[in-house]
Amino acid sequence: MGGQLGGLAGTTTVNITLTDVNDNPPRFPKSMLFSKLPESSHVGSAIGRIRAVDPDFGKNAEIEYNIVPGDGGNLFDITTDENTQEGVIKLKKPLDFETKKAYTFKVEASNLHLDHRFHSVGPFKDTATVKINVLDMDEPPVFSKPLYTMEVYEDTPVGTIIGAVTAQDLDAGSSSVR
Per-residue pLDDT 10s for the chain (178 aa) are 556 666 788 889 999 887 777 777 889 998 898 989 998 899 999 999 999 998 877 668 789 999 999 878 899 999 999 899 999 999 999 998 888 999 999 999 988 776 666 666 666 889 999 999 999 877 778 888 889 998 999 899 998 998 888 888 776 666 677 7
Let me know if residue 97 belongs to a domain. yes
Let me know if residue 67 belongs to a domain. yes
Nearest to 149 by CA among 168, 163, 160: 163
C-alpha separations of 178 from 85, 142, 164 in Å = 52, 12, 12
Let me know if residue 152 belongs to a domain. no
Owning domain of residue 38: 32-135
Please tell me the distance from the alpha carbon of residue 16 to that of residue 27, in angstroms, as a whole number: 30
| Domain count across the chain | 1
Element (H, E) at 50: strand 46-51
In the prediction, which pLDDT does 128 show? 95
In the prediction, which pLDDT does 168 show? 81
CATH number of the domain enclosing 89: 2.60.40.60
Let me know if residue 121 belongs to a domain. yes
The pTM is what? Answer: 0.68
C-alpha separations of 144 from 32, 138, 141, 152, 172 in Å = 42, 18, 10, 22, 18
Let me know if residue 10 belongs to a domain. no
Per-residue pLDDT of 149-173, as tens digits, reads: 989 998 999 989 988 888 887 766 6
Let me know if residue 1 belongs to a domain. no
Let me know if residue 158 belongs to a domain. no
Let me know if residue 2 belongs to a domain. no
Please tell me the distance from the alpha carbon of residue 21 to that of residue 133, in angstroms, as a whole number: 40
Other CB atoms within 10 Å distance of the CB of residue 72: 19
In the prediction, which pLDDT does 1 show? 56
In the prediction, which pLDDT does 119 show? 62
In the prediction, which pLDDT does 116 show? 67
